[in-house]
């Protein structure tokens, strides 16, 4: 058996490494620089350490098991199982962008043979696999679905930056285009997933299960974000309220904050899109999205108010933002909502500096036109906003970074003292 993984990002690479411990696995990515780095044993996403990556790397397709990383499409032709793990983003209008999925399907379709199986892991709304991807595969291959080739869907559940809940330790939902294929796909994942598998009733059920996972988290976070706004007006510490409420056994432990990244801040729009297609306007889902998207400007306004109370001149004030990635202890800056805080503070007239030891400085410059600070020595700031709770920030002495009069705002409830405001 030869497995091809299409897309070697945060999802595809850990999965490819896992399968490579038992099967010959062809890891394909269009980014040649990414492939060169992986071939040398370096993963810039930080999901795999050099030792675990190098342990499975092979250089020939004749190997019985191991991971061959390649940007050459021709290396895919000997595979019989294709797993597509490309991103599914949204456009500037928050509409699903299936372009990466379309391109990946065309690529795989060009190599399909009779008996091959294509499994999709990308987060989509129900129906995308069978109604969007399968026709592309049929056209590109000239083969007939469920006669010549087959499909499955097994939603990714990777949690970037999480070294505890790794891919093998997260229960895997599986599905297939007919009962036999469903069983085959389930057994394939079960052979490497120690946490076990769950065989969904259909591909659409598996697609729906995934898209509601992050939608549920988004709505719950929106609720506590709204609470934070209310309690701020009431001059009540939100963290203290949540701590007290959390003493009840069935209280859900969500915290307020920025909701970005490539999953929670995106997936609800996929579900909403499908709902609209069938004539239903989703109210709670979109209301939660709207509220969560408002939190960056809200934080910026709170910082400005605190500065005004201390008579700190806003125009040309020096503001330090700690962290720009979408979550703590992770270098991923995709769809980070920290950028909303930065942009709003700049519109108020502040000079904003950003420090993030985990983020890729070149990527931040490319995506957001921001030059990250390389160090914090000999710099004093009128306001400091802790936006991301990186472990490195535990060691920072904020007192040495504060001007004579300064404001400290904690978005994450991370700091224990010296804080003027927080969500």
pLDDT tens column, 59-99: 988 889 999 999 999 999 989 999 999 999 999 899 999 99
Q: Which CATH architecture has domain 294-422?
A: 3-Layer(aba) Sandwich (3.40)
Mean pLDDT of the 278-306 span: 96
The model's pLDDT over 325-376, given as tens digits with 9 standing for 90+, comes to 999 999 999 899 999 999 999 999 999 999 999 999 999 999 999 999 999 8
Is residue 330 part of the annotated active site? The answer reads no
- Helix orientation angle between 99-109 and 134-141, rounded to the nearest 10 degrees: 30
Q: Give the DSSP per-residue string, 48-117.
A: S-HHHHHTTB-S-TT-SSEEEEES-GGGGTT-SEEEE-----B-TTS-B--HHHHHHHHHHHTT--TT-E
Active-site pick, 69, 133, 263, 330: 263
Which sign, positive or negative, has the C-alpha torsion 231, 237, 239, 240? negative
In this predicted structure, what is the pLDDT of residue 240?
A: 93
* Contact between residue 118 and residue 152 where contact means Cβ atoms under 8 Å apart: yes
Between vectors from CA 144 to CA 138 and to CA 147, what angle results, nearest 5°?
145
Grade residue 7 by pLDDT with cuts at 50, 70 and 90.
Answer: very high
Between vectors from CA 402 to CA 310 and to CA 379, what angle results, nearest 5°?
135
The full set of domain ranges for the chain reads 2-209, 294-422
For 12, left (φ over 0), alpha (ψ -120 to 50), or beta?
A: alpha
By CB neighbour count within 10 A (0-12 exposed, 13-18 middle, 19+ buried), where does 373 fall?
A: middle
In this predicted structure, what is the pLDDT of residue 408?
A: 97
> Element (H or E) spanning 269, and its range?
helix 267-277
If you average pLDDT over every residue of the chain, what do you get?
95
Domains 2-209 and 294-422 share a fold: yes
In angstroms, the CA 133 to CA 346 distance is: 43
User: Going by CATH, does the domain composed of 2-209 fall within 3.40.50.620?
Assistant: no
pLDDT > 90 fraction of the chain, expressed in percent and rounded: 90
Q: Among 124, 268, 266, which residue's Cα sits nearest to residue 205?
A: 124
With H, G, I as helix, E, B as strand and everything else as coil, classify residue 405. strand
The model's pLDDT over 234-248, given as tens digits with 9 standing for 90+, comes to 999 999 999 999 999
Mean pLDDT of the 221-227 span: 97
Is this model's pTM higher than 0.75 or not? yes
Q: Among 376, 369, 265, which residue's Cα sits nearest to residue 321?
A: 376
In angstroms, the CA 162 to CA 164 distance is: 6
């Amino acid at each position: 058996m030869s497995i091809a993984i299409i897309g070697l990002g945060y999802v595809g690479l850990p999965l490819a490494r896992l399968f490579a411990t038992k099967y010959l696995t062809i890891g394909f990515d269009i980014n040649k620089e990414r492939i060169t780095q992986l071939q040398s044993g370096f993963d810039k996403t930080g999901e795999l350490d050099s030792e675990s990556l190098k342990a499975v790397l092979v250089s020939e397709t004749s190997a019985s098991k191991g991971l061959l990383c390649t940007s050459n499409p021709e290396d895919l032709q000997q595979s019989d199982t294709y797993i597509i793990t490309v991103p599914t983003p949204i456009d500037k209008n928050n509409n699903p962008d299936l372009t990466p999925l379309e391109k990946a399907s065309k690529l795989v379709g060009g190599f399909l043979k009779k008996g091959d199986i294509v499994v999709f892991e990308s987060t989509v709304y129900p129906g995308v696999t069978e109604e969007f991807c399968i026709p592309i595969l049929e056209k590109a291959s000239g083969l007939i679905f469920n006669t010549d080739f087959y499909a499955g869907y097994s939603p990714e559940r990777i949690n970037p930056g999480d070294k505890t809940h790794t891919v093998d330790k997260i229960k895997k939902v599986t599905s297939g285009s007919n009962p036999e294929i469903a069983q085959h796909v389930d057994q394939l994942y079960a052979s490497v997933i120690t946490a076990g598998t769950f065989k969904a009733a259909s591909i659409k059920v598996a697609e729906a299960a995934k898209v509601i996972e992050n939608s549920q988290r988004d709505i719950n976070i929106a609720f506590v974000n709204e609470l934070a706004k209310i309690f701020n007006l009431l001059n009540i510490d939100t963290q203290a309220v949540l701590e007290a409420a959390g003493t009840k056994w069935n209280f859900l432990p969500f915290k307020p904050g920025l909701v970005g990244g490539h999953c929670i801040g995106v997936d609800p729009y996929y579900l909403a899109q499908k709902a609209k297609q069938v004539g239903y306007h989703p109210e709670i889902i979109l209301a939660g999205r709207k509220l969560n998207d408002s939190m960056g400007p809200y934080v910026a306004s709170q910082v400005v108010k605190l500065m005004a109370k201390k008579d700190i001149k806003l125009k040309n004030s020096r503001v330090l933002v700690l962290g720009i990635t979408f979550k703590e202890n992770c270098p991923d800056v995709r769809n980070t909502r920290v950028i909303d805080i930065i942009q709003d503070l700049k519109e108020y007239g502040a000079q904003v500096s950003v420090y993030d030891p985990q983020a890729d400085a070149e990527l931040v410059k490319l995506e957001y036109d921001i030059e990250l600070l390389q160090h914090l020595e000999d710099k004093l700031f009128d306001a400091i906003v802790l936006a991301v709770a990186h472990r490195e920030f535990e060691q920072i002495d904020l007192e040495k970074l504060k001007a004579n009069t300064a404001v400290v705002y904690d978005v994450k409830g991370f700091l224990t003292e010296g804080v003027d405001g927080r969500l």
